A and B are shown apart, each in its own frame.
Chain A
Amino acid sequence: MHRRIKKIAVENSDVIIKKWLEEISEKRKNEYTSAISEELFQSTSREFVNVIFTSLDKNGLTPELEHFSERLINLGWPLTYITDGLHSFRRVTIDFILSQSEQIDSEYFSTILNTVDGWVDPIINRLVNEYSGSWEHTVSLQRVALQELSAPLIPVMKNITIMPLVGTIDTERAKLIMENLLEGVIKHNAEVVLIDITGVPVVDTMVAHHIIQAAEAVRLIGSTCILVGIRPEIAQTIVNLGIDLGKFPTKSSLRKGFETALELTDRKIVRSKEKDQVVDQLLNSLDKE
């Protein structure tokens, strides 16, 4: 029985393909793929239906199917194209087989349904799996990339390190910030750490709480934490929220914070020209004598 149904489908593949292409082109008019050129759409659809028939012919999933799905994913074709395509294929095939059969009772009908489902469902599952697998892969890659970006610590000078923060701070990131900060302070033997929040879009109570905790932890291991890059609007919201950031020094810009850090480590920036002048003056005065 199954074999006979399959035989009908395979022998009349031309008719089925033609009908399927018609249906899918019809659908396309008001659909997602309208940006894709007609030529590419036709050739891809032809390839798609051929892939379906090869896997039908070989009774299972084939390497062709895998290549095809890989290519579609790389080109960024929508998943709905595949699911819609296979659903129409199912409909067209069932219609066709029914029209070829002389006598139809409910048992025969359900056999046809089952058989065609048996062809189409594994392909759908496989392709959907491939698609979601590729998304998951992308997301996990991006997560790793984000994590790498999330809390860098830069030793700019002996005893002075900077942690620039860019973007939203969530719980996971706050934990990383704390860990990196403490580890880095010990590793670089930092006396002063500057946390720069210029790139943090919103400072709410949670973010403030994490920063306060981090600063407190830094204080406990004997270093000073300076919060820099507080934009005027952020300063106002912090005041409105009633958050007390008085336990550690804060500055509007990284430059001012850095100057304070130098002061705290008993250093200052000196213009080298002036130094030369001083030496010149010394030399001049020596000459006079």
Chain B
Amino acid sequence: MDFKSCVHIRQEWDIVGARQLGRDKAKELGFGTVDQARIATAISELARNIYLYAGTGKICFETIEDLEHKGLEIIAKDEGPGIRDISQVMEDGYSTSGGLGAGLPGVKRLMDHFDIISTHGEGTEIRTSKWVR
């Protein structure tokens, strides 16, 4: 849509920056506090995945609109190693880093739409959005 802004993820503290920006955008669009927390958490998960597995990447925000609704789309993009088996990472409890393994399936539950495209060796792009209710 009309505005688009990105945060580059290079170090751990950039996760906080991405989260802050996302929360501001969510507030601007009129999301309630619970949804703001959901969006901030989702951004946190996506940004941390970039930091942990790809090293660098970016998180972008876009406002989306249909006839009645407004929403926020989060795009997490990296040129990291990619995901070999997407169905596996979407399972609860699967983790390669000793974490809880709730990140990506969790994001899917926190948001309304969730799309993931990943090519092994080329990178990953995740698009996820939430509508203002």
A and B interact physically: yes
Q: A168-B16, A233-B33, A240-B110 are in contact. Are A205 and B103 (CB under 8 A)?
A: yes
* Known contacts A205-B103, A242-B106; A234 and B37 CB within 8 A of each other: yes
At the interface, is chain A mostly helix, strand, loop or mixed?
Answer: helix
Interface string of A231-247 (1 = CB under 8 A from B): 01110110011110000
Query: Is A206 in contact with B34, judged by CB distance below 8 angstroms?
Result: no
Nearest neighbor of A170 in chain B, beta-carbon distance: B12
Tell me if A5 is interfacial: C-beta within 8 Å of chain B: no
Tell me which residues across on chain A come within 8 A of B106, comparing CB atoms.
205, 240-243
Number of A-B contacts (CB under 8 A): 66
* List of A residues within 8 angstroms of B103 by Cβ: 204-205
Interface string of A39-73 (1 = CB under 8 A from B): 00000000000000000000000000000000000
Residue interface bits A181-217, CB-to-B below 8 A is 1, else 0: 0000000000000000000011111101100100000
User: B48: CB under 8 A from chain A?
Assistant: yes
B41 to chain A, nearest CB (A): 5
Instruction: Please report the C-alpha to C-alpha distance between residue A168 and residue B19 in the assembled complex, in whole angstroms.
Output: 11
A37 near B: Cβ within 8 Å? no
| A103 beta carbon closer than 8 Å to chain B | no
Does A233 contact B99, Cβ atoms closer than 8 Å? no
- Cross-interface CB contact of B48 among A206, A234, A240, cutoff 8 Å: A206
A interface size (C-beta, 8 A): 21
Question: Does B92 sit within 8 A of A, measured CB to CB?
Answer: yes
CA distance A204 to B19 in the complex (A): 11
Contact B109 A241 (CB under 8 A): yes
Given known contacts A170-B12, A237-B110, A209 and B99 CB-to-CB distance under 8 angstroms? yes
Chain B 98-133, CB-CB to A under 8 Å as 1, else 0, gives: 011111011001100000000000000000000000
CB within 8 Å of A: which B22-48 residues? 33-34, 36-38, 40-41, 44-45, 48
Question: Is A285 located at the chain interface by the 8 A CB criterion?
Answer: no
Is the pair B38, A204 in contact by a Cβ cutoff of 8 Å?
no
Whether A277 is near chain B, meaning CB under 8 Å from some CB there, is no
Query: Cβ of A170 and Cβ of B40 under 8 Å apart?
Result: no
Q: Judge whether B38 and A236 touch: CB under 8 Å.
A: yes
Q: How large is the interface on B (under 10, 10 to 19, 20 to 34, 35 or more residues)?
A: 20 to 34
Tell me whether B3 is interfacial, beta carbon within 8 Å: no
The smallest beta-carbon distance between B128 and chain A, in angstroms, is: 13
CA distance A202 to B22 in the complex (A): 12
Please report the C-alpha to C-alpha distance between residue A280 and residue B53 in the assembled complex, in whole angstroms: 70
Does A106 interact with chain B (Cβ within 8 Å)? no
Interfacial chain A residues near B40, Cβ < 8 Å: 201-202
Cα A17 to Cα B109 with chains together (Å)? 67
Chain B hits for A168, CB < 8 A: 16
Is residue A30 contacting chain B, with contact meaning CB distance below 8 A?
no
Determine if B110 and A241 form an interchain contact, defined as CB atoms under 8 angstroms apart.
yes
Contact mask for chain B residues 51-90; partner A; CB cutoff 8 A; 1 contact, 0 none: 0000000000000000000000000000000000000000
A233→B110 contact, CB < 8 A:
no
Given contacts A202-B44, A234-B37, A242-B105, contact A208 B12 (CB under 8 A): no
Chain A residue contacts of B105, Cβ below 8 A: 242
A208 partner residues in chain B, CB cutoff 8 A? 100
Which chain B residues lie closer than 8 Å to A170 at the CB level? 12-13, 15-16
Within 100-131 of A, Cβ neighbours of B (below 8 Å) are at: none
A171 is an interface residue with CB less than 8 A from chain B: yes
Chain B positions within 8 Å of A, measured between CB atoms, are 12-13, 15-16, 19, 33-34, 36-38, 40-41, 44-45, 48, 92, 99-103, 105-106, 109-110
Can you give 15 contacting A-B residue pairs, CB < 8 Å? A170-B16, A171-B12, A202-B37, A204-B103, A205-B101, A234-B37, A240-B38, A240-B41, A241-B41, A241-B45, A242-B92, A242-B102, A242-B106, A243-B102, A243-B106
